[in-house]
Structure 1
Amino acid sequence: MSALDAAIAFAEGLFDELRANTTDAPGITRAAYGTGEEFAHALVRAAARELDLVEATDAAGNLYLTLAGTAPQLPGWIIGSHMDSVPHGGNYDGAAGVLAGLSVAHALRREGRRPERNLTVMVIRAEESTWFPVSYLGSRAAFGRLPREALEACRADTGLTLREHMQRLVFDPAAVARGEAFLDPAGLRGFIEVHIEQGPVLERADAPLGLVTGIAGSFRYREARCLGAYGHSGAVPRAYRQDAVLGFADLVAALETRWDGLEREGLTATITFGEVATDPTQHAFSKVPGEVGFCLDVRSASPEVLERIHAELLADAGVIAQRRGVRFEFGARTGSTPALLDPALRGQLAQAARRMGLRAIEMPSGAGHDTATFAAQGVPASLIFVRNQNGSHNPLEAMRMEDFAAAVHLLLAFLSTPGD
């Protein structure tokens, strides 16, 4: 068995253990700073000990597993991703990147080789902001860039703060609050994340891998409301209604029209109302609805496009509020900054793929990834997508192991290139 085949078999066994121990039908759940994520970190830690990797943990609980290079004084490489998932998600989102790094270390160990530079597999905490309303929580903490107020953010299911969850796991939220950094950009040659593609592009292009050009930023309103007035469904004429559902529907239609206009101009964005609900304590079959709660997630690789959509959102909401007799309360705005990824590093990976006869197409990422944090800190950063047949954030993620193997093979070839 070749070193690559042995490494892939090693990773496949870890994927199976993850699925068996974090299944939460119909999918898997690995909550940030919760039982599932903790199991995943323990599993990876045990696997790293088999490979004699040096282990370290920072104040926020990010895990670092290092294979020493022959020239450890040089800035080192990090290969990493996250292990948490959305509720009832799939088994590969995030985990594929961590296990790709471990697979590289496994193959090098089996071949009796050491890289020139230190090679660290980073297991990043809390990437999925469905748990805490904070983007790139773990990776920002690693650089000492997590705002102090983020520690008071509450986890969606427990209601406990991030600070409390960190304390329960014996991490050091006080150090996080002080902005203590574990990673120094000057000490890093680069960061590479492997991640399943979360859309259908690679499958339709018949390409096993994608090399990402940039990562979209976002603005989000997680607790927005449209407020009108409750009334009798038969007794209140149309002219006197303050219907929150119709006001909200007008806002959806207005943003859809704005989206059409952006696309006609050749500009890209995504606009998603992921949660919509009337108040179950007050709504009824025979009542004009007086309140609708919703969340809004707008993404684009262009900061200018994001700000344009935001301005149009507020303008449209004002017009609708006047016409319908409703009002909009958007609540706190959160989000992330778009990131352009390092073209030189991407070019080197593309050259390695061509030498191998491996098809890897360039493409943007509409979803956020921790790679954006590294890019924002000036670290050369690259994101490799692996073909995935059924999207992500659902139980049906179906990454083929041969495509995962192609990503590991590419990393091995790249890291074996003289000068890298």
Structure 2
Amino acid sequence: MTLTEAVTAQTPLVQRLLDGVAALGADPPGITRVAYGPGESAAHALIAEAGRALSLTASTDAGANLTLRWASPSAQRAPVLIGSHLDSVVQGGNFDGAAGVIAGIAAIAALQAAGIQPKRDIEVLALRCEEAVWFGLGLIGSRCLLARLPEGALDLPHARGGLTLAASIVACGGDPARLREGTPLRDPRGIGAYLEVHIEQAPQLIEAVAPVAVCLANPGNVRHPFIRITGEDAHTGLPHRFRHDAALAGADLSLALERLWLAEEKAGRPMAVTIGRFHTDAARHSLTAVAGDFTMSLDLRGYDAEHLAALEGRLAAIVAEVAERRGVTITLGERSAAAPGPMDPAIIAGLGAAAARLGIAAPALNSPGSHDANNFAAAGVPTGMLLVRNQNGSHNPHEAMDTPDLMAAIAVLTDYLAHDAA
């Protein structure tokens, strides 16, 4: 059986697993697989079962991440890890994360069917809690694996039920005491490469009329989930010169950040600004009152650590200017951050060469989203990603990845692994 035939033969397996994780997370109109909850854990069990059918060795680490290892009888180099996540946002889509884990399973199945034996171990990782919605902190599984949890993270409460991250990890078979030691569960120097397949989160591949892209970099981010703007409550008839309007200060801050975004992109420095929360106090706001209190959130993204630091400096200057002009206090509050994830040049070239051998159009593009790959790249692990065409973005019920496009990505991944084994 040729390698191409072996990949094609995995289509029923891929579809069965996609349908399986969808059923486990069904939450009309979308999919909800709660991190460290029944849906995510059931998806881990489904993937583990698929691994056992391929004679892969399963293990669970202290962060409750699942590893499925295909051992090489003549391992000559450090292992290659293929990973992603199985949790979702609330009523999101089925493919964000899950497609990447399933791609790893399918690639190993295809290599086995084609009789290709790798010269290093290949491992599939199902990483826990990639989505920040559950603890206000994203990429938790890979943070656990690589000792990149920020101070106090294990005490964060879960968005559903309030169980701490530490208790959530225990409930899924992990060991937070080991995580508190602050040393990696896997030495990054002992990992040969980390590869991730992920649906695209902007319609760049729809625009390019291509099924798959080779990722150049993932953005890092700085996040402030609860920015508090404090002004003064007042009557709606109060003249402008007397007002300290928290709501208009929030609008000013948002529009100033958008102007920054447009200027940076015009200068060839890609970035992104997202305002997710944006509201007055629902318990007190009124048609006939000037708002003295306003809450908003900010996700600030950039592809280079120095650029991201510069953007954070610009944020501070904008906040100071708006606060002074509007006569309000702006408190940025809690901060979290994820490092940018530049992909390894050799892996970029290798994945591009694999696509070329297969005759698959695969432009090189930046990813709009941060992924577990960021943590591996930041830890010094050679990292690569493939992005799969997906018309309607992610984090919504309308994710529109087609299975043939995922199979194209699996073909590129498998061809890369086969040549890596040569």
Name the aligned partner's letter for residue 196 of structure 1.
Answer: I
For 1:201 and 1:129, locate their aligned partners in 2 and report how far apart those are by CA, in whole Å: 24
Match of 2:356 in 1: 354
Q: Secondary structure at the match of 1:416?
A: helix
For 1:266 and 1:364, locate their aligned partners in 2 and report how far apart those are by CA, in whole Å: 13
Could you tell me whether the CA contact under 8 Å between 2:188 and 2:381 is conserved in 1?
yes
For 1:322 and 1:411, locate their aligned partners in 2 and report how far apart those are by CA, in whole Å: 53
Work out which of the residue numbers 95, 100, 105 in structure 2 matches 1:102: 105
Match of 1:54 in 2: 57
Work out which of the residue numbers 361, 381, 405 in structure 2 matches 1:403: 405
* TM-fit CA distance, 1:112: 4.1
* TM-fit CA distance, 1:263: 2.7
Match of 1:162 in 2: 165
Match of 1:217 in 2: 220
Match of 2:316 in 1: 314
Match of 1:265 in 2: 267
Could you tell me whether the CA contact under 8 Å between 2:340 and 2:378 is conserved in 1?
no
Match of 2:182 in 1: 179
For 1:102 and 1:3, locate their aligned partners in 2 and report how far apart those are by CA, in whole Å: 13
* TM-fit CA distance, 1:316: 2.3
Match of 1:33 in 2: 36
Q: 1:226 to 1:412 in 2, by over 3 A?
A: same
Deviation larger for 64-73 or 277-286: 64-73
* TM-fit CA distance, 1:257: 2.2
* TM-fit CA distance, 1:359: 0.9
* TM-fit CA distance, 1:121: 0.5
Q: Secondary structure at the match of 1:221?
A: strand
Work out which of the residue numbers 260, 272, 276 in structure 2 matches 1:274: 276
Tell me, yes or no, if structure 1 residue 91 matches structure 2 residue 102.
Answer: no
Match of 2:13 in 1: 10
Tell me, yes or no, if structure 1 residue 150 matches structure 2 residue 153.
Answer: yes
The runs of 5 or more residues in structure 1 that have no matched partner are none
For 2:251 and 2:199, locate their aligned partners in 1 and report how far apart those are by CA, in whole Å: 34
Could you tell me whether the CA contact under 8 Å between 2:118 and 2:421 is conserved in 1?
no
* TM-fit CA distance, 1:296: 0.5
* TM-fit CA distance, 1:148: 4.7
**CA RMSD for the aligned pairs?**
1.7
For 2:326 and 2:350, locate their aligned partners in 1 and report how far apart those are by CA, in whole Å: 56
Deviation larger for 106-115 or 171-180: 106-115
For 2:16 and 2:406, locate their aligned partners in 1 and report how far apart those are by CA, in whole Å: 13
Could you tell me whether the CA contact under 8 Å between 1:212 and 1:365 is conserved in 2?
yes
CA deviations over 1:81-110 (Å, ceiling 9, x no partner): 111111111000000110001001222333
Q: Secondary structure at the match of 1:267?
A: coil
Tell me, yes or no, if structure 1 residue 370 matches structure 2 residue 372.
Answer: yes
For 1:129 and 1:42, locate their aligned partners in 2 and report how far apart those are by CA, in whole Å: 22
* TM-fit CA distance, 1:126: 1.0
For 2:108 and 2:356, locate their aligned partners in 1 and report how far apart those are by CA, in whole Å: 23
* TM-fit CA distance, 1:342: 0.5
For 2:196 and 2:270, locate their aligned partners in 1 and report how far apart those are by CA, in whole Å: 24
Work out which of the residue numbers 313, 326, 341 in structure 2 matches 1:339: 341
Tell me, yes or no, if structure 1 residue 255 matches structure 2 residue 257.
Answer: yes
Q: 1:59 to 1:218 in 2, by over 3 A?
A: same
Q: Secondary structure at the match of 2:152?
A: helix
Could you tell me whether the CA contact under 8 Å between 1:148 and 1:177 is conserved in 2?
no
Tell me, yes or no, if structure 1 residue 78 matches structure 2 residue 117.
Answer: no
For 2:333 and 2:36, locate their aligned partners in 1 and report how far apart those are by CA, in whole Å: 26
Q: 1:400 to 1:316 in 2, by over 3 A?
A: same
The runs of 5 or more residues in structure 2 that have no matched partner are none
Could you tell me whether the CA contact under 8 Å between 2:220 and 2:337 is conserved in 1?
yes
Alignment TM-score, normalising by the size of structure 1: 0.95
Alignment TM-score, normalising by the size of structure 2: 0.95
Name the aligned partner's letter for residue 305 of structure 1.
Answer: H
Name the aligned partner's letter for residue 166 of structure 2.
Answer: R
Work out which of the residue numbers 117, 122, 132 in structure 2 matches 1:119: 122
Same amino acid, percent of matched pairs: 41
CA deviations over 1:275-329 (Å, ceiling 9, x no partner): 1111111111211111111100110112333233322222222222222221111
Q: Secondary structure at the match of 2:10?
A: helix
Match of 1:206 in 2: 209
Work out which of the residue numbers 112, 131, 136 in structure 1 matches 2:134: 131
Could you tell me whether the CA contact under 8 Å between 1:190 and 1:381 is conserved in 2?
yes
